[in-house]
Structure 1
Amino acid sequence: MKTLTIRRPDDWHLHLRDGAVLEGVIADTSRHFARAIIMPNLVPPVVTAQDAVAYRDRILTALPQGDRFQPLMTLYLTEGTDPDDVAAAKESGLITAVKLYPAGATTNSHGGVRDIDKAMPVLERMAEIGLPLCVHGEVTTPEVDIFDREAVFIETVLDPLRNRLPELKVTMEHVTTKDGVDYIMGSSGNLAGTITTHHLIINRNAILVGGIRPHYYCLPVAKRENHRLALRAAAASGDKRFFLGTDSAPHVDPLKECGCGCAGIYTSPNTMSCLAHVFEEENALDKLEAFTSLNGPAWYGMAPNEETMTLVRQEQPVSYPSKRDTGAGAITVFDPMFPLHWQVVE
């Protein structure tokens, strides 16, 4: 296969940041993606409907002229979140989901949830009104090894929550383990998972072998090779419970290349080329459209995009910039460590 035409894709987990970084990176998403669920972990976070309106307006203002892109807004769940504000935001069409960050789990998550019981009034209202919960699925207790955080979260937080509130629709974001894949596949309903571009390509060796490589460091951290293979099998299976959420997370280089570097990998510019490469390796190019363009809208109750995207496999590797320059500084673009031959042409 040399040419592949699919419905225009969506990104169901995206960080755009704010200010000069937002202005510098938004075109990399709006060029290829019709919609994206926007993460709310700004400083300060997007906690209320009023916050979400203001952030959405800043995103739309930063869009290149003529780009047709819809930011799907979320609220940052806290133990003091007002259920009425959440319900009103959902009713108005302002928000698509609410995001649960366990406090301290990742970038700008210090204001997240420490005691899930204190968030139950909001979660119960969300279950009533059919508003999905997006979860960063890791525990943050210091005695749990960082490579086990996802599995322990499933056992101690997510499964009890779903048993307690089975009608709540949960998106387990950036699944990184076979444990997560198996848990989603074994569920009876109301559970789906996003998978990132980079977790389909790297394992933890990319971070640590030959020196510490900060531009492959993300949270949840990349795991062993058997987990990466499980993610690839799930993504390429066509299973409707798995779909793309890039978790593309821009940080300027000085914040990555320092003694305590930020977690996050910036994949928006070359994600579609990377994914076509992965799905070709899996002999599953016929399943790429489901993963990028069909399963996510179905899960969130939306129609797939009418516009299409065409990718062409060319002999010479596709060239992408190694860095994206922004008004806040340079941001390193994800290097998959192999040549990319699939190019988005329209």
Structure 2
Amino acid sequence: MTKTFTIRRPDDWHLHLRDGDMLCAVLPHSASHFGRAIIMPNLVPPVVTAKDAAAYRDRILAAMPEGADFNPLMTLYLTENTDPADVAAAHADGLIHAVKLYPAGATTNSASGVANFDRVGAVLEKMAEIGLPLCTHGEVTDPEIDIFDREAVFIDRVLDPIRRSHPALRVVMEHITTQQAADYVRAAPENLAATITTHHLVINRNHILAGGIKPHYYCLPVAKRENHRLALRAAATSGDPRFFLGTDSAPHTDANKLLPCGCAGCFTAPNTLSILAEVFEQDGALDQLEAFTSLNGPAFYGLPANEAKMTLTRSPPSFPSHVDTPEGPVTVFDPAMPLHWTVT
């Protein structure tokens, strides 16, 4: 039985750090394990211009723990008023590494997202021209569409038309949750990829609803049936370079998670690597963990893999049940299974 193994330092290609006191409280948990992260721009107000992104990056760097080696990769929030020239200049300066598409109303702080996709064609064309990836929150928000079908409908109604209109556009389908999404990526050219979260490899919709509602497992896109979870595990452990880790670690205080209309998101930053090692070992794929966490993402984004290494040792890890913040406690994701790997 393997007792220790070493991989290149991982990256997180989808991360929520929030701002202010929350940023200061949660940033150390990502900075301790990851070399880089694609930082989500859905603040209030959102990060919509190069100036916004530069200011947010400065706040992240100011909150960095002493001695941390962590590079926040900034993104812009796509709106119907986004200026293609501003996007291109931010990319040319090395400030941003992607633009994020939120359909209006799809998830936390997405009210400023896109409602009319015809109005963002010029931005997408410029992004295709300069090779800047579009990261998509892949759900429609039509109230007539069942919440468990929103990802599949997004592919048909939104993503596929965008890709036909802009065939050179590099696209990342973020936090995919369905067999349909995994199959769509496999069938596409190499300029389409997908991130998969830690929690969607572990939970299905029963974890949220069976035996009582579990708010700390509620996320968007919502976890689906077991066959979809297994399809995601097969994609993640396959070694296919089009799939890589984006934790979508999303901290909310317990007070906000436990409201009658509670927030969506799972806070996985503290224990993601231990959970992933467990999942990959269960599926006989520890040899593919480095590709998923450390190699595939940099290759798609045109960046070198991290030179630093990380060692995991077979010993039961210890994690806090929650992280204290000035705004209130944030519960750490419970994988509902024993873990046997510790980052050392």
SS at match of 2:90: helix
Partner of 2:343: 344
**Unaligned residue ranges in structure 1 (runs of 5+):** none
Matches within 5 A, 1:197-216: 197-216=198-217
Distance 1:7 1:149 in 2: 35
- State yes or no: 1:14 paired with 2:15: yes
* Offset of residue 190 of structure 1: 1.0
Distance 1:2 1:197 in 2: 22
* Offset of residue 312 of structure 1: 0.4
Q: What's the TM-score, normalizing by structure 1?
A: 0.99
**Unaligned residue ranges in structure 2 (runs of 5+):** none
SS at match of 1:254: helix
- State yes or no: 1:330 paired with 2:315: no
* Offset of residue 189 of structure 1: 2.6
* Offset of residue 164 of structure 1: 1.0
- State yes or no: 1:65 paired with 2:66: yes
Q: What's the TM-score, normalizing by structure 2?
A: 0.99
* Offset of residue 235 of structure 1: 0.2
- State yes or no: 1:195 paired with 2:166: no
SS at match of 1:329: coil
Partner of 1:142: 143
- State yes or no: 1:106 paired with 2:107: yes
SS at match of 2:38: strand
- State yes or no: 1:31 paired with 2:32: yes
Distance 1:149 1:22 in 2: 30
Amino acid at match of 1:330: P
Partner of 1:117: 118
SS at match of 1:144: coil
* Offset of residue 258 of structure 1: 1.1
Distance 1:160 1:117 in 2: 11
**Kept after mapping to 1: 8 A contact 2:190/2:242:** no
Amino acid at match of 2:242: R
Partner of 2:283: 282
- C-alpha deviations, 1:41-100, integer Å up to 9, x for none? 000000000000000000000010000100000000000000000000000000000000
Give RMSD over aligned pairs.
0.5
Count residues with an aligned counterpart.
343
* Offset of residue 238 of structure 1: 0.3
**Kept after mapping to 2: 8 A contact 1:250/1:265:** yes
Matches within 5 A, 1:1-346: 1-314=2-315, 317-345=316-344
Distance 2:276 2:308 in 1: 19
SS at match of 1:269: coil
SS at match of 2:297: helix
Runs of 4+ in 1 over 2 A off after TM superposition: none
Distance 1:119 1:320 in 2: 43
**Kept after mapping to 2: 8 A contact 1:41/1:109:** yes
* Offset of residue 328 of structure 1: 1.3
- C-alpha deviations, 1:227-260, integer Å up to 9, x for none? 0000000000000000000000000110001100
**Kept after mapping to 2: 8 A contact 1:318/1:339:** no
Aligned-pair identity (%):
70
